[in-house]
Structure 1
Amino acid sequence: MTVAEWCIFATLMLYLLSIASIKWIRFRHFDNSRPRDPAFYDDPIAARALGAHQNGIEAFPFFAVAVLLAEFRGGPQRLIDELAVLFLIVRIAYVFTYLGNRPTLRSILWSIGFAINIAIFFMPAIRRFLPL
């Protein structure tokens, strides 16, 4: 497996852990028989953890498809790996800024992550212009 493919797995785990951690921390308040109970997410940190989780679900498919497409279409693997690692770092920072209630920085990080995905996605189309 390539580094980028491991980053796909790590990104998946990140969005799962962003909500699982808050459920574990607040386990006495979490009712597993009603896992989507809106009352659990009344707490501001739980609501932000849910938001980070949901955004992770939204961001994951594009990232996974972009990486796999770039690899299958013969993009430069080293650059794909580097951008995938960068995307993962940005997503980790994104989750922390979401939990820390830093909306402006969070939006900047989201934009950077989206730009990284665009770069990975179009890499096969522009590979002949890259100095690699």
Structure 2
Amino acid sequence: MSIPFWCVFIAAILIYIARIPVAKAMKEQGGYDNHNPRAQQARLTGLGARAVAAHQNSFEAFMLFAVGVLMAHTTQTQGWFVDLLAIVFIIARIVYLYLYLNDKASMRSLVWTVGLVCSLLLMLTPVYRYWVLSTLQ
């Protein structure tokens, strides 16, 4: 499996790692309400509320990243740049989760932007590949 595909797998796992503090906060709120978990999550404050937001954002970020990796893969765009973008995205997401849970809003937004740019650049790598191939002919 390629580095970008491993990174997609890791990004998927990070979604659920981000959920761990949510479950802990819900338990501290009198136990996990399996009948109405979303209503219980909506009542969380502080770390619990930030954990819910980080978890939800992980789903949002995953979609763009996975699409970018698939666009690169299906157009047979590969190499160090695609690998680097995928790795930087994962590092950015790990740092993002840490910053979100520790209420470092400005740095979190900056790191979020790094992840977004990686995803968008992955989507554009087929253009780069086409440009390189057309200039070599």
TM-score (norm 2): 0.84
**One of 63, 68, 74 as aligned partner of 2:76:** 74
In structure 1, runs of 5+ residues without a counterpart are none
AA partner of residue 32 (structure 2)? F
Gaps of 5+ in 2: none
Q: Does structure 2 conserve the Cα–Cα contact (< 8 Å) formed by 1:41 and 1:50? A: no
Aligned to 2:95: 93
Partners of 2:126 and 2:44 in 1: CA distance: 45
- Given that 1:71 and 1:80 are in contact with CA atoms closer than 8 Å, whether structure 2 keeps it comes out as no
1:118 is displaced (CA, Å) by 1.3
Q: Does 1:113 align with 2:115?
A: yes
Query: Structure 1: how far apart are the matches of 2:48 and 2:17?
Result: 13
Contact 2:68 2:123 in 1 (8 A): yes
Runs (4+) off by over 6 Å? none
Letter in 1 for 2:11: T
2:63 to 49, 52, 61: 61
Tell me which residue corresponds to 2:4: 4
Count of matched residue positions in the alignment of Structure 1 and Structure 2: 130
**Deviation of the 1:9 alpha carbon:** 1.1
Question: What SS does structure 2 have at the residue aligned with 1:16?
Answer: helix
Counterpart amino acid of residue 67 in structure 1: V
Measured at CA, do residues 75 and 22 of structure 1 come closer, stay the same or move farther in structure 2, by a change above 3 Å?
Answer: same
Structure of greater Rg: 2
Q: Distance in 1 between matches of 2:111 and 2:132?
A: 27
TM-score, normalised relative to structure 1 = 0.87
